[in-house]
Chain A
Amino acid sequence: MIRFSGVTKRYGQFTAVHPLDLHVRHGEMFGFLGPNGAGKTTTIRMVTGVLRPTAGSITIAGKDLTTDPIGAKRHIGYIPDRPALYEKLTGGEFLRFVNGLWGREGEAQQRKADELLDLFDLYEWKDVMVENYSHGMRQKLLICSALVHGPDVIVVDEPMVGLDPKSTRLMKDLLHGFVEKGGTVFLSTHTLEVAESVCDRIAILNAGRIQGLGTMAELRRQAEMGEAGLEEIFLRLTGTEQARELVASLRVTA
């Protein structure tokens, strides 16, 4: 569904993402893990067409993002980690605007938007300007906007940031349901528990390079760590020894 071929991103002399070859399969929940500054968000922004790769190509549902950006983007719903929205639109107007960008309108679309808002407890806030929304409410509105136009792929950067426990659960269920219906999810997260519990396959990124890729079992084998959890594998593969030490000492202190 998403294919990266030699995708590279450089900012001047600095290489944020080294040549990346990866295939995210149709109907798969794919997790992208890595420490801060590993290149996760850069990769996500390249998949959604917000950033252009310095080299290489990305295809979505067989459509090349560089040569057929509009065709490729029709398939994507994007949930960024920072909820920057149009402050002076209401939640309802924002969803109508997003529908318009994806060329959709009509009663059915309107109903779908209302149902999504209701699902995330935002229906009462439908006619309130976004500038009055809390961080979590903005995040929920973003999730609605990514789902409202019926994408085949959801690209999500830090899906649970700013969400309350109920919405976190809802989000997990939504992603699961989406995948069960044949949708594809490409998510980046710091929350190892989220990745471990929801993802079919995981790629661990460090300093712009993939350090490990596969199912949990495959990752354990790659890290030679027996029955270890994702946290241990993550720390081993990303080589963050100091973090390991800190985690250990915090456990002792607690």
Chain B
Amino acid sequence: MIERFLQLNGQAQVPVEPRQPGVLALYAPKWRTARRRAAESHSLARALLLGAIGFIFWAVLFSLMHRVLAYFNRTPGLGDVLAVKLLATMLLAFLPILLLSNIITALSSFFLARDLELIAAAPVDPLRVYGARFLETLIHSSWMIVLVLIPVLAAYATVFDAPARFYLSVPLTLGAFLVLPAVAGTATTQVLVNVFPARRARDILALVALLGTAAFIAVFRLMRPEQLARPEGFRDLVDFIGALRTPQSVWLPSEWAANALLTPLRITERPGDAFPLLLLGTSAAAFLVMGAWVHGRLFLTGLTRAQEGGRRRSAPATGRLSAERAIPLPLTARSLVLKDLRSFFRDTTQWSQLILLAVLVVVYVYNIKVLPLFSGEDVGFLLRNVVVFLNTGLAGFVLAAIAARLVFPAISLEGRSLWLLRSSPLRLSLLVWSKYWVGLVPLLVIAVAITAGTNAILGVSGFVGAVSLGTIIALSFALTSLALGFGALYPRFNSENPADIPTSFGGLLFMMSATAFIGVVVLLEAWPVYSFLLADVEGRTLGPADWGALATGLGMAFVLCVAAVVVPMRIAVRRIESIEH
């Protein structure tokens, strides 16, 4: 029976000519894996929650766009121009995001994926490999943009009474539009990997991507786009419309795509014009051909370089024994903390996120600085103090975002090495608490710096200043614990890129819970503090009821914060003890 499995193809009377697998067949294992992973990890409750969040997001975006477009539609002449401009600008903003995303995804799918050895060893036509990997890169990099565009385009269709032709042109246009940055991104990666080894290229790209995003956010914010919405800066209306009509550039695919999409709605300059779609389609096709050519020239050498892994990388000489021993912590805790710090600062994908966080903090403080509180007439003492109070809530949200990046992934990052910790004589509570302190210290520093800084900008001190500072400190303790708790409940041990962990389902759940928690804490404190300030402004002396309300509000907020430290930490310890990975 076994003999028939041992027949060699070369010895067969009629050797079987292997048929080339199709691009979709090559891509099939990927989407099957993704589908099964989704089916395994998504219970009905999870699916419903995700569905609800998605629906709310779509509904909010749709209604927002609908309002704006309906307003444009009621403004003859100018409205149509603004509607086209709005979509062109959105697509233009998406272009660099798509390009960066494709560059990074292509690195994984073309050069670092674990199944590449199998694919490279199989007698498969390189062009088909390109097709399959390109499709994978395109889908991974673009799905989020498509999800955002659906409610946007739906709003356009509703407001401007779209004909059937619009619905036909949407998939064609979007398909062609998404292909362009995908080809450019994959080709860039092919070139980069031929210059740098793949692992270094990943680090460099992660850094470039983050710096790019950070610069984009910072520059965009510091330009104060809200001022551009003031047409009084233009000489007259004709000037204003003229400026709007001018395309950002005739060479930009975003402009072609916006025109191709909106031509059927008869709001573009040349309604019914098929040229933009043709231009986009033929460009995409030409790009695909060029991409395949680049792949044919560069893929195999790149793949070889990727296998070589580059020069051996020594660690910086931070491991001096005497310095290690000087850290005032018990031996095991010290070992855990040092291991986490080293892993963090040596991993570009991890530490580079600090850049993004720094920008987030700078933009936040800048926003507080440009608040119109100081322009025009003097704003009252009361309002300024209320703003300080709201500021605490917003700073809490910034902290939650930082905790999602720094603390939430801590358990997931133990990943495949968890066997060592589980088989060692280590109390797992010590592991969780060491991660807690490693996460808390930077969070506390940022929290106190933001709050003290913004309080100083707003010129608030005294009682409200002290309450806001106390609150943000308590929030830091609680948010660190919440992030660890959710991180332990929803770990992603197999994630290849640490930067992906915060955007997982658990990360989303953490952000939602943290936001709700911050909201409750701020609400508990807000009313009694407001009454206290009001009494102060009105020159009243505080009665026992006022003091009681104040103590109750602050006390309840404090108890809530303590509970938010204790409960998630206990859950995290229990969860890690029960993980069988």
Contact = CB atoms under 8 A, between A and B. Distances in A.
A and B physically associate: yes
Interface of A: 45, 48-52, 69-71, 73-74, 76, 78, 80, 82, 84-90, 92-93, 96-105, 110, 125, 127-129, 131-132, 145, 242, 245-246, 249, 253
A246 B3 CA distance: 9
Contacts of A99: 335
Contacts of A50: 418-419, 422-423, 580
Interface in B327-376: 331-332, 334-336, 338-339, 342-343, 346-347
7 contacts: A50-B580, A73-B423, A89-B343, A100-B334, A100-B335, A101-B424, A129-B315
Contacts of A73: 423-425
A80 B419 contact: yes
Contacts of A71: 425
Contact of B339 (A97, A131, A242): A97
Cβ-closest 4 pairs across A and B? A100-B335, A84-B416, A48-B423, A101-B424
Contacts of A49: 422-423
A70 B419 CA distance: 15
Given A86-B417, A128-B313, A249-B6, A48 B422 contact: yes
Contact of A103 (B2, B346, B419, B425): B425
A128 B312 contact: yes
Contacts of B313: 128-129, 131-132
Interface residues of B, number: 41
Contacts of B338: 93, 97
B570 interface: no
Given A71-B425, A74-B425, A80-B419, A90 B314 contact: yes
B453 interface: no
A52 B422 CA distance: 11
Interface of B is mostly: helix
Contact of B315 (A52, A76, A90): A90
Given A86-B417, A88-B343, A249-B2, A52 B580 contact: yes
Contacts of B343: 86-89
Interface in B212-271: none
Contacts of B418: 50
B309 interface: yes
Contacts of B336: 100
Contacts of A101: 332, 335, 420-421, 424-426
A128 B3 CA distance: 49
Contacts of A125: 312
Contacts of A70: 425-427
A104 B325 CA distance: 12
Contacts of B314: 90, 127-129
A52 B338 CA distance: 29
Contacts of B334: 100
A103 B315 contact: no
B1 interface: yes
Nearest to A132: B312
Contacts of A93: 315, 319, 338-339, 342
B580 A51 contact: yes
B319 A92 contact: yes
B347 A88 contact: yes
A78 B332 contact: no
A8 B435 CA distance: 33
Given A74-B425, A93-B315, 20 more contacts: A52-B578, A52-B580, A70-B425, A71-B425, A78-B423, A82-B416, A84-B417, A84-B419, A89-B343, A93-B319, A96-B324, A100-B331, A100-B334, A101-B426, A104-B331, A125-B312, A129-B313, A129-B314, A145-B420, A242-B2
Nearest to B347: A88
Given A48-B422, A50-B419, A85-B417, A105 B315 contact: no
B545 interface: no
A87 B325 CA distance: 23
B163 interface: no
A88 B417 contact: no
Interface string B304-317: 00000100111101
Nearest to A77: B423
A245 B425 contact: no
B323 interface: no
B311 to A, nearest CB: 8
Contacts of A82: 416
A90 B313 CA distance: 9
B415 interface: yes
A253 to B, nearest CB: 7
A82 B578 CA distance: 21
B331 to A, nearest CB: 5
A100 B336 CA distance: 8
Interface string B407-436: 000000001111111111111000000000
Contacts of A84: 415-417, 419
B331 A103 contact: yes
Given A100-B331, A132-B309, A249-B6, A89 B339 contact: yes
Nearest to A42: B580
Given A50-B422, A242-B2, A100 B312 contact: no
A49 B419 CA distance: 9
B121 interface: no
Nearest to A127: B314
Nearest to A85: B417
B321 interface: yes
A92 B336 CA distance: 15
B321 A110 contact: yes
Interface string B1-15: 111001000000000
Nearest to B339: A97
B330 to A, nearest CB: 9
A102 B319 contact: no
